[in-house]
């Protein structure tokens, strides 16, 4: 029987476009549309600008585009930059039944190579579906312990998504893919301890960069061990104290995970979002503007991961606010919305929002973890009590509704960054017909760049 690394390599090299389901193909296009919009607006953030400035001064060969800029660079740096931009706003996709943001690491890597090579749309679609699958499958062996022990799985596992998609696009041999997986495995890293800073988005960008680098090195003949993922001192055994490698085998050949990937509704950590939904529901029941003095207390029952990574009590920067359920929930309760514009210094200094934050009390419930549930109870000074319960997995279940939300989100983002309607509509039409284009560079990137 083949080892795990070999089975993953065979899955990448043997899978044909005709083997993919219609739902997976459709969802790949919608996920790409979602990622593109999020990345284009994310490219305007300070972290993204710093990365762009660094890259611009490296005098690299112009092979791939840094989105929403006039810059081109080599494939490695393009993957890094677009990976940072796609993750910096925490508005990128989510797999609701398990943590992580697969689009943040697969799309930047695959797009850089697809642009350089002028790959057809069907090759790009297949590559990203495979990348999503392998990223998820390896995670199945080590999650949730891997995450609990401090690793940022979008980064650590994202390298496998990136290298798998690039290996597919490069049409690498089985042996080359095995080596590429090994190079990606030994480059693994990314800490949860940097959440709330620019380094969180760097984690995603570096995973993209490392995935491209690993595949390119392997394509030139650079080698690695043949069982790097599962050997005694390999990735699985080093990155979690409790693991089950058989879960990876099942997941490789299981349902295509991209079918269940969904867009994120709010620009904040996914662990904040069930409370945000609760607060919005309560706000909708109010018949007058809310002020902090109207509130006696707020009790939020949340899943434990919320308190672990998304409960910064006194955020000082907009980036920290994205990991503060207190801030996100308070803004949603007071304003009845939570948008990109709400993560600003004005709201950070708003005494009413600060006072609402101070009235929030959290209680963790283990049974809320799997489906990211939350319950919020607001007691008002008047004696009125309002409450709301949310199950995020239920909210995201409807795929057609989710995809409508993606197109609306894409339209809204491109309006915000002042992209002309004709360009926006052309982009959207091209992506939603991606399987029919013959050259990613000429038929898609040139539209983005003009």
What is the 3-state secondary structure of 64-106? EECCCCCCEECHHHHHHHHHHHHHCCCCCCECCCCCCCHHHHH
Q: Distance between CA atoms of 310 and 17, rounded to whole angstroms?
A: 39
Q: Is pLDDT above 90 for 218?
A: yes
Q: Distance between CA atoms of 100 and 340, rounded to whole angstroms?
A: 21
State the average pLDDT over residues 434-445.
96
Phi, psi dihedral angles at 373 (to 5 degrees) = -80, 165
pLDDT digits (tens, 9 = 90+) for 173-189: 999 999 999 999 999 99
Q: Distance between CA atoms of 186 and 190, rounded to whole angstroms?
A: 13
Tokens of 4: 């795990």
Coil, strand, or helix at residue 348? helix
Min mean pLDDT across 7-16, 164-173, 316-325 is at 316-325
270-394 fold: 60s Ribosomal Protein L30; Chain: A; (3.30.1330)
Q: Which residues sit opposite 385 in a β-bridge? A: 379
Query: Rg (Cα) of the chain, in Å, rounded?
Result: 22
pLDDT digits (tens, 9 = 90+) for 289-314: 899 999 999 999 999 989 988 999 99
Identify the burial level of 349 via C-beta atoms within 10 angstroms of its C-beta, where 0-12 means exposed, 13-18 middle and 19 or more buried: exposed
Min mean pLDDT across 17-21, 73-77, 146-150 is at 146-150
State the average pLDDT over residues 395-419.
87
DSSP code per residue over 362-424: EEE-GGGTTTTEEEEEEEETTS-EEEEEEEHHHHT--HHHHHHHHHHHHHHHHHHTT--HHHH
Coil, strand, or helix at residue 58? coil
- Residue with more model confidence, 49 or 288: 49
State the average pLDDT over residues 117-123.
98
Q: Is pLDDT above 90 for 370?
A: no
Report CA dihedral (133, 138, 140, 141) to the nearest 10 degrees. 160
Strand (E) or helix (H) holding 302: strand 295-302
Q: Distance between CA atoms of 101 and 34, rounded to whole angstroms?
A: 12
pLDDT, position 418: 87
Nearest one of 108, 88, 77, 340 to 199, comparing CA atoms: 88
Phi, psi dihedral angles at 269 (to 5 degrees) = -50, 140
Coil, strand, or helix at residue 432? coil
Furthest-apart CA pair in the chain: how many Å? 72
Report CA dihedral (113, 115, 121, 123) to the nearest 10 degrees. -20
Coil, strand, or helix at residue 109? helix
CB-based contact 170:113 (threshold 8 Å): yes
Q: Distance between CA atoms of 42 and 382, rounded to whole angstroms?
A: 42
Q: Is pLDDT above 90 for 400?
A: no
- Across the chain, mean pLDDT equals 94
pLDDT interval class at 97 (50, 70, 90)? low
CA distances from 5 to 16, 164, 183, 187, 220 (A): 19, 12, 12, 16, 20
Global pTM value: 0.92
Nearest one of 367, 409, 356 to 389, comparing CA atoms: 367
Tokens of 103: 């689009």
Coil, strand, or helix at residue 171? coil
CA distances from 250 to 81, 139, 174, 191, 227 (A): 34, 12, 20, 27, 18
Count other Cβ atoms within 10 Å, centred on residue 254. 13
Please list the helix, strand and coil fractions of the chain in percent, rounded to the nearest 5, in that order: 60, 10, 30
Domain spans of the chain, in order of start: 4-262+399-449, 270-394
pLDDT, position 273: 92
Cis peptide before 46 (omega within 30 of 0): no
4-262+399-449 fold: 2-methylcitrate dehydratase PrpD (1.10.4100)
Q: Which residues sit opposite 379 in a β-bridge? A: 297, 385
Cα 211 → chain centroid:
16
């Amino acid at each position: 029987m083949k080892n795990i690394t070999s089975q993953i390599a065979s899955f990448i090299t043997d899978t044909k476009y005709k083997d993919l389901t219609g739902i997976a193909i459709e969802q790949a296009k919608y996920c790409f549309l979602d990622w593109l919009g999020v990345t284009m607006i994310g490219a305007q953030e300070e972290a993204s600008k710093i990365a762009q400035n660094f890259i611009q001064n490296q005098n690299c060969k112009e092979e791939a585009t840094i989105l929403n800029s006039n810059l081109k660079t080599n494939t490695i740096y393009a993957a890094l930059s677009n990976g940072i931009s796609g993750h910096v706003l925490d508005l990128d996709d989510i797999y609701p039944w398990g943590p992580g943001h697969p689009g943040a690491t697969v799309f930047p890597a695959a797009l850089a190579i697809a642009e350089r090579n002028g790959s057809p749309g069907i090759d790009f679609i297949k590559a990203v579906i495979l990348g999503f699958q392998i990223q998820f499958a390896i995670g199945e062996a080590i999650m949730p312990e891997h995450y609990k022990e401090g690793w940022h799985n979008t980064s650590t596992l994202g390298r496998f998504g990136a290298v798998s998609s690039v290996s597919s696009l490069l049409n690498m041999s089985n042996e080359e893919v095995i080596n590429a997986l090994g190079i990606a495995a030994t480059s693994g890293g990314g800490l949860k301890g940097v959440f709330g800073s620019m380094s969180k988005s760097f984690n995603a960008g570096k995973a993209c960069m490392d995935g491209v680098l690993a595949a390119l090195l392997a394509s030139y003949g650079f080698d690695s061990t043949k069982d790097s993922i599962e050997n005694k001192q390999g990735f699985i055994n080093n990155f979690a104290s409790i693991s089950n490698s058989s879960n990876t085998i099942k997941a490789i050949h299981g349902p295509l995970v991209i079918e269940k990937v969904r867009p994120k509704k709010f620009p904040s950590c996914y662990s904040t979002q069930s409370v945000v939904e609760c607060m919005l529901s309560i706000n909708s029941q109010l018949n007058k503007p809310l002020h902090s003095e109207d509130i006696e207390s707020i009790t939020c029952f949340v899943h434990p991961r919320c308190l672990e990574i998304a409960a910064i009590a006194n955020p000082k920067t907009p980036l920290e606010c994205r990991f503060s359920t207190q801030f996100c929930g308070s803004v949603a309760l007071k304003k009845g919305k939570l948008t990109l514009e709400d993560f600003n210094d004005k709201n950070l200094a708003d005494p009413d929002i600060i006072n609402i934050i101070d009235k929030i009390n959290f209680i963790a419930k283990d049974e809320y973890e799997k489906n990211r549930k939350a319950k919020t109870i607001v007691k008002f000074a008047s004696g009125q009590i309002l409450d709301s319960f949310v199950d995020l997995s239920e909210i995201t279940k409807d795929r057609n509704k989710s995809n409508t939300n993606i197109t609306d989100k894409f339209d809204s983002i491109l309006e915000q960054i002042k992209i002309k309607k004709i360009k926006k509509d052309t982009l959207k039409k091209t992506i939603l017909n991606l399987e029919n284009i013959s050259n990613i560079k000429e038929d898609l990137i040139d539209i983005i760049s003009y």
